[in-house]
Amino acid sequence: NAGVTQTPKFQVLKTGQSMTLQCAQDMNHNSMYWYRQDPGMGLRLIYYSASEGTTDKGEVPNGYNVSRLNKREFSLRLESAAPSQTSVYFCASSERGSSGNTIYFGEGSWLTVV
């Protein structure tokens, strides 16, 4: 039972490079999320998608783009990476929104921008 799978697990980028973090869930969930985790900051929402074909900004969207490719997949793209984007990124999903519903998290992607 895979749950939420994200790739890659580790990545080192040079400033200005681009990359895409991939995420897929096999639980037939409608809602998907991307968070970043930084020391002393907890987790902060970057973008979310309430359903296939829709995306919305979260708390810290600047420097990122997302694509809800289909119901299963939700990717996060860094067009021009900056050192401030060094973080651990988590993809997550829930059946239908976060209100009262459990959100399931992937194992994280460690990104370093040098």
Piece of 10-18, 33-41, 66-74, 76-84 that binds another protein (CB under 8 A): 33-41
* Contact mark string toward another protein, 67..86, x via CB under 8 A: --------------------
Measured between alpha carbons, how far is 40 from 7 in angstroms, rounded to an integer? 25
- According to CB under 8 A, which one of 12, 97, 112, 114 is a site residue for another protein? 97
Please report whether residue 52 would count as binding another protein according to CB under 8 A: no
- According to CB under 8 A, which one of 2, 14, 28, 100 is a site residue for another protein? 100
Cα angle 48, 108, 106 (rounded to 5 degrees) comes to 65
Nearest alpha-carbon partner for 33 in 114, 78, 89: 89
Secondary structure of residue 44 in the 3-state scheme: strand
- According to CB under 8 A, which one of 19, 43, 52, 65 is a site residue for another protein? 43
Nearest alpha-carbon partner for 62 in 39, 78, 42, 74: 78
